[in-house]
């Protein structure tokens, strides 16, 4: 059982890709709908209330099923045991290797983020720091228009729609993105040439 659990953790990235590309429509629909329902619930109720309601709903379902199975066994005079016995006996623990693996990944991501922020805030490259400043300035307008939960809902919808759209119209999207990237690089090159000290060091 532990081996199967470990395998499920190992193939998790592959499962995420399958979900985002809707390769199993039923499974993706359930996950997508559940996440949206949770986020929309958080827009109406507090986090504590949502957690409490979810726990009560889950307990109502499991208790009702347990009572139903007990009554059914009593009427049919059978002894099938606890209806959730298989799940209660299932091994649900991460191995030391898995914990170390995810810890190393997290550490790598945090260290990389800290180094990049240090580079931007201490203006190692003036152009990159200016780009970052413009991005933060734009985010002030985004923050004024949308709250955090609205942005999370938009992010979830984008995660479950953009990969499919890109997969279907990849050639056209790549073409337009290439034009935009070329235009941006041209503009940045002109700005970079006019700002003293903004030229990148030759690699």
- 11 within some domain: no
Domain of residue 57, residue span: 17-75+108-146
Give the C-alpha separation, 58 to 125, whole Å: 53
Give the C-alpha separation, 26 to 22, whole Å: 8
Average pLDDT over residues 150-159: 90
Please choose, from the candidates 133, 102, 129, the residue with its C-alpha nearest in 3D space to the C-alpha of residue 116: 129
Q: What is the Cα 129 distance to its own chain's centre?
A: 27
Q: How much is the pLDDT for 57? A: 92
- 2 within some domain: no
- 194 within some domain: no
- 189 within some domain: no
Pick from 95-99, 105-109, 121-125, 175-179: least confident: 95-99
Count of domains for the chain: 1
- 191 within some domain: no
Give the C-alpha separation, 191 to 199, whole Å: 9
- 93 within some domain: no
Residues of the chain above pLDDT 70, percent: 89
Q: How much is the pLDDT for 131? A: 86
Average predicted confidence (pLDDT) for the chain = 83
Average pLDDT over residues 131-157: 88
- pLDDT range class, residue 59, cuts 50, 70, 90: very high
Average pLDDT over residues 174-202: 76
Please choose, from the candidates 152, 165, 161, the residue with its C-alpha nearest in 3D space to the C-alpha of residue 29: 161
CA torsion angle for 191, 193, 198, 200 (degrees, to 10)?
120
- pLDDT range class, residue 89, cuts 50, 70, 90: confident
pLDDT at 202 over 50: no
Average pLDDT over residues 148-159: 89
Give the C-alpha separation, 59 to 45, whole Å: 20
Give the C-alpha separation, 83 to 61, whole Å: 13
- 54 within some domain: yes
- 99 within some domain: no
Give the C-alpha separation, 29 to 19, whole Å: 9
pLDDT at 114 over 70: yes
């Amino acid at each position: 059982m532990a081996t199967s659990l470990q395998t499920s953790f190992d193939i998790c990235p592959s499962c995420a890709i399958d979900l985002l590309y809707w390769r199993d429509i039923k499974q993706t629909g359930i996950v997508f709908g559940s996440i949206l329902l949770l986020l929309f619930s958080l827009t109406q109720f507090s986090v504590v209330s949502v957690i409490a309601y979810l726990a009560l709903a889950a307990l109502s379902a499991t208790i009702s099923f347990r009572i139903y199975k007990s009554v059914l066994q009593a009427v049919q005079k059978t002894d099938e045991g606890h209806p959730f016995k298989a799940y209660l006996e299932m091994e649900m623990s991460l191995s030391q290797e898995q914990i170390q693996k995810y810890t190393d990944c997290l550490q790598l991501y945090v260290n990389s983020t800290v180094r990049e922020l240090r580079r931007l805030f201490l203006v190692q490259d003036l152009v990159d720091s200016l780009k970052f400043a413009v991005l933060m300035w734009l985010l002030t307008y985004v923050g004024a228009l949308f709250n955090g939960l609205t942005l999370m809902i938009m992010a979830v919808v984008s995660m479950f729609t953009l990969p499919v759209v890109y997969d279907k119209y990849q050639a056209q999207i790549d073409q337009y993105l290439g034009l935009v990237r070329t235009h941006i690089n041209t503009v940045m090159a002109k700005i970079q040439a006019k700002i003293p000290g903004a030229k990148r060091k030759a690699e």
